[in-house]
Structure 1
Amino acid sequence: MWKCPKCGRTFKNQNQDHFCGESPKTIDEYIAAQTESVQPLLNQVRDTIRDVLPDAEERISWRMPTFWQKHNIIHFAAFKMHLGLYPGDKAMEHFADILTEYKTSKGALQLPYNKPLPLELVAEIAKWCYETGNHH
């Protein structure tokens, strides 16, 4: 176990990426707490999801920006080298054929900062999660 010297939280992995301090209360607060270079990317993803899910509520869930309607639909978050998109495992299975150029895990997609954001893909995934009821 590793304990973060800054916030005191404990993690299984040494130097685990995490958000230190109090959780932001809004997506605006979350984005404002990120580095200046990452803020525009987070806003682009937020605006893209907002456009396809206009009736979804924006909130913080699991310390991440989340779009919600009766349950979590999709999350996104900033990390050191990538933006994480969390649509859940069913979405990752459904879109597996077109996600081959990205690093993925069971329910997450990593969008590296050194490549253009695939905003059309983000929109398609968010819309699919909402329409199918396969939520994170």
Structure 2
Amino acid sequence: MTAIADHDSYIAAAPEAFRPVLNRIRDLLREALPDAEEMMAYQMPGFRIGDTVVASYAAFSKQIGLYLLAPAISAHAEEIAAAGLKASKTGITFPPRKPIPDDLVTRLAHASSRHADD
């Protein structure tokens, strides 16, 4: 498999139904993390502050994943559950037809960035 070089290429290679949601997540993360640099790691697009990847996202066969530092997920666990989303220690998955709310993405990104130096 050829490595994907950047966010644009990653989103373009995703299934068509996923692209609008992936673009929206990227835009929200870019806005919420103005000091972060866009990068690719583990074949996923992400955002890094210093040496720490504070947010990334991925498209799978039936769902999208948003990945953040564990303290951000745990601090918003009740809100994530209330939105009907599935969360692990460092990620939230959801179908493209029921995307994660914009304001939750922003709050999670801010919370994750606060732990970049931990």
Q: Same fold (TM over 0.5)?
A: yes
Partner Cα separation in structure 2 for residue 64 and residue 22 of structure 1: 13
2:67 to 64, 86, 89: 86
Identity of aligned residues (%): 34
The amino acid that maps onto 1:117 is: I
**Matched residue pairs, number?**
115
Offset at residue 120 of structure 1 (A): 0.9
Partner Cα separation in structure 2 for residue 88 and residue 129 of structure 1: 5
Q: Tell me how large the CA RMSD over aligned residues is.
A: 1.6
| Greater C-alpha radius of gyration | 1
1:130 to 96, 102, 113: 113
- CA distance 1:77–1:84, change in 2 (3 Å): same
1:107 to 90, 93, 98: 90
Task: Show structure 1 runs of 5+ residues with no match.
Answer: 1-20
Offset at residue 105 of structure 1 (A): 1.3
Offset at residue 88 of structure 1 (A): 2.7
Flag the structure with more relative contact order, 1 or 2, with Cα contacts below 8 A and sequence separation at least 6: 2
**1:91–1:134 CA contact under 8 A, matched in 2:** no
- CA distance 1:134–1:80, change in 2 (3 Å): farther
TM-score by length of 1: 0.78
Offset at residue 112 of structure 1 (A): 1.8
Larger helix proportion of the pair: 2
